[in-house]
Amino acid sequence: MKLSDFIILGEEEKKSAVLHRGVLIGKRLAPGTIFFLFQFDHFYVETSCNTESKTISRYLAFSKTALLEPYLETIAIEKLFRS
pTM, two decimal places: 0.85
Rounded CA gap, 30 and 51, in Å?
10
Q: Where are the domains of the chain?
A: 3-81
Instruction: Quickly list DSSP for 15-52.
Output: HHHHHHH-EEEEEEEETTEEEEEEE-SS-EEEEEEETT
CB of 44 closer than 8 Å to CB of 61? yes
Q: What is the CATH number of domain 3-81?
A: 3.30.67
pLDDT band at 62 (very low <50, low <70, confident <90, very high): very high
Model confidence pLDDT, tens digit, residues 8-55: 999 999 999 999 999 998 999 999 999 999 999 999 999 999 999 999
